[in-house]
Amino acid sequence: MKFSIRPVHPQDCRDIERMIRELAVYEKMADRMKITYEGHSVVGYTLYFYTYNTWSGRCVYMADLYVMPDFRGKGIGKALLASVAKVCSEQQCARLQFSVLKWNKFSLDFYLSKGAQDLIDAECWRFICFDGEALENLTLEAP
C-alpha cells in the first residue's frame, strides 16, 4: 500500500477531527470530545509537541497516534511513529514520550516491540493530571 507522511495542512482539519473522534470512541472517551468538523481524505495522524525532561533535556511528547481501522496493519502506524522519532532525532531531543491506556494491549505491545519502555514498570512513574474543578480549585491557591 502506498501512503505518504507529511506535516498537517489547514485543509486537513476535517480529517483530523474525524480521526480524533474515532480515537475518542476507541478509547471509550467519546463523551469528552468537544471539537467538531466533517469530511475526510487523510487516514492517520500523530499529534506531538516539545517538552523538557529535567535529567535528559528537550523531548517530544506524542499526544496521539491514530490510524483508521480499515488502514491498520499496513505499516502506516509504524511509519507515523518513525516519522515522529525522526523529528525527535533531527531536533536533538533526548526522548520520545507518550501515554497508552492500560487496557490497550495491542498498542502497548506494538510500542514495546519497537523498543519503548513502560515507565511504570521501569521507573515507577505515574501520569498525573489536574482538570475541571480540581484545576480551578488549585488555581485559587496561587499567590
Round to whole Å and give the CA distance between 143 and 97. Answer: 32
- pLDDT computed for residue 16 by the predictor: 84
Each domain of the chain, given as residue ranges in start order, spans 10-98
The residue-averaged pLDDT of 31-55 equals: 79
Mean pLDDT score of the chain: 89
Assigned fold of 10-98? Aminopeptidase (3.40.630)
**Catalytic residue chosen out of the listed positions 45, 48, 66, 111:** 111
Catalytic annotation present for 111: yes
Q: Would you state the cell numbers that stand for residue 88, as one nine-digit string?
A: 525527535
pLDDT in tens, 42-51: 788 999 999 9
pTM of the model: 0.70
* DSSP at 44: E
